Amino acid sequence: MRHPRIEATSDRRFAPKREQSYNHDMSYDSAEILKEALALPADVRAALADSLLGSLDTEVDEDAEAAWQIEIERRVAELDSQGVSPVPWAEVRSRLMATLHNER
């Protein structure tokens, strides 16, 4: 399920202060924003995360986009032909966690 992006508002709490540097540790304001964000419902956090990640993606690689479109079409055709069986996320996550646990 794709969540709608959260649009920036005129609320200055979310704008970095000019004296803050990208390389400095998280400021108090950023820590408070994170604390508030983590208290939001899961669907709102997902939309917020999508918006934040989208704000970092400023350049579009047309070749990569075309390659992904081809891959998506291939995977959909594979699912439609029942050549593969989908695996529920809970099962995939469980397998990944077991693999990670066994590597330690």
Task: Indicate whether 80 belongs to any domain.
Answer: yes
Instruction: Give burial (CB, 10 Å; 0-12/13-18/19+) of 68.
Output: exposed
Predicted confidence (pLDDT) per residue in 21-64, tens digit: 554 566 778 889 999 999 999 999 999 999 999 898 788 888 99
Longest distance between any two alpha carbons in the chain, whole Å: 57
Residues 50 and 66 in one domain: no
Residues 17 and 40 in one domain: yes
Residues 49 and 79 in one domain: no
Q: Which two tokens stand for residue 101?
A: 């646990």
Q: Which domain holds residue 52?
A: 12-56
Residues 52 and 69 in one domain: no
Q: Residue 6's pLDDT is what?
A: 52
Cα-based torsion angle of the residue sequence 71, 4, 14, 40 in order, rounded to the nearest 10 degrees: -110
| Percent of the chain with pLDDT strictly greater than 90 | 55
Residues 35 and 49 in one domain: yes
Q: Which residue has the higher pLDDT, 84 or 104?
A: 84
pLDDT at 15 over 50: no
Task: Indicate whether 3 belongs to any domain.
Answer: no
**CA 56/CA 60 separation, integer angstroms:** 11
Say how many domains are in the chain.
2
Task: Indicate whether 6 belongs to any domain.
Answer: no
Residues 48 and 70 in one domain: no
Residues 52 and 16 in one domain: yes
Q: Taking all residues of the chain, what is their mean pLDDT, rounded to a whole number?
A: 81
For the CA atoms of the chain, what is the radius of gyration?
19
Q: Which two tokens stand for residue 51?
A: 């918006």
**CA 33/CA 14 separation, integer angstroms:** 7
Residues 21 and 40 in one domain: yes
Task: Indicate whether 70 belongs to any domain.
Answer: yes
Straight-line distance from the first to the last Cα atom of the chain, in angstroms, rounded to the nearest whole number: 34
**Which pLDDT band, with edges at 50, 70 and 90, does 78 fall under?**
very high
